[in-house]
Structure 1
Amino acid sequence: MQTQLTKWIGIGVTAVALCACASLEPVQTAQKMIGQPESAVRTAFGTPTETYQLAGGTQRWIYSKQPMGHEVYAADFDSGGKLTGFRQMLTEKEIYEARPGVWTKHDVAERFGMPREPTQYYPLMKREAWSYRMYVAGYQQAHFNALFDDNGVLDRTMIVVDPLGGDHQSRK
């Protein structure tokens, strides 16, 4: 009986440690899980906020920390359901790969998830704006904005650095 209890305690401690690592260092934790099945990723990171079916039977799970967090993580799986990659999507590198005039709202959502901030519409420009909180240079708070024309095609992207570091309305 004692060995069975010790075994269950060991499993519980391992699960808690894995969850703690997953929340503190998600990319590093997931990189060690490459090749693992979807069930292992779900155990470590929980239910994704969104899922997308990609080309060739692959899948992307989005783990968004928006609107107050500054991260959106993507877990990519091959057609067999094995983890092939896990990365933070709100980086300048990822944003600069966006293709104005080509990408649609769906393409932006597949890459960065749906916005968790309220969308804005600018009638004089005839543009809808999606906004995501992010960090630039590793520590500076900023907003990534994707602007779409009335046909839902990406018109432009912008990174706007917030010199005061966040939502000014919450400081009043």
Structure 2
Amino acid sequence: MLALGALVGLLVACALPAREQPGALRAEVVARLGPPTATIALPSGERLLYSELPAGFAAYNLDFDASGRLVRNEQVLTQQRFENLPIGTWTRADLQNTFGMPLRVEQVARFDGDIWTYRFRQNSDLRQAHVHLDRQGVVRQVLFTDELPNFHNARD
């Protein structure tokens, strides 16, 4: 029984979005990875989004051409991607179609809109990107914070 558990663990460890290579067929990718978090129509094909949120720190865009072949595989939850968001032009839909749903959505008194928070790793540091969307759903700013460790269970 222990050997079966180890084998299952090994097989699951091998099925990672990051390992999918250009040229892979969509059906084979889905068979290996399971259903995506989201499916997004693209002008020249389709994107399968595999997100590790809320517990993880990565989201992968696997873009397929019209024939169902993988043409691009990108881990998108990065400092650079958030720093380069097109302020004033990107919308809620652009965020969802690129990064997936956020870790959380909040509001604060000093900003009239929603703040979508995504978590990610920068090197070994745990970080959060706070994307401010106005009432029309347009990105207005992005702020970054470090994600602090959860110490409330340290006493237990």
Task: Please indicate, yes or no, whether the TM-score normalized by the shorter chain is above 0.5.
Answer: yes
1:9 aligns with: none
- Shift >3 Å, 4+ stretches: 15-19, 167-172
Instruction: Provide the C-alpha distance between the structure 2 equivalents of 1:40 and 1:88, rounded to a whole number of angstroms.
Output: 19
Residue 48 (structure 1) shift: 0.2
2:107 aligns with: 121
Q: What TM-score, normalized to structure 2?
A: 0.84
Match runs of 1:1-172 below 5 Å: 19-23=12-16, 26-27=17-18, 29-31=19-21, 34-56=22-44, 58-115=45-102, 117-136=103-122, 138-162=123-147, 164-165=148-149, 167=150
Instruction: Provide the C-alpha distance between the structure 2 equivalents of 1:168 and 1:146, rounded to a whole number of angstroms.
Output: 26
Q: What TM-score, normalized to structure 1?
A: 0.77
Residue 75 (structure 1) shift: 0.7
Name stretches of at least 5 consecutive residues in structure 2 with no aligned partner.
1-6
**8 Å contact kept, 1:22–1:45:** yes
Number of aligned pairs? Answer: 149
RMSD (Å) for aligned C-alpha atoms: 2.3
Q: Secondary structure at the match of 1:40?
A: helix
Q: Secondary structure at the match of 1:119?
A: strand
Q: Comparing both structures, which one devotes a greater share of its residues to strand?
A: 2
Post-superposition Cα deviations, 1:36-69, rounded to whole Å, max 9, x if no partner, equal 211111012111011111223x211111110111
User: What is the percent sequence identity of the aligned residues?
Assistant: 28
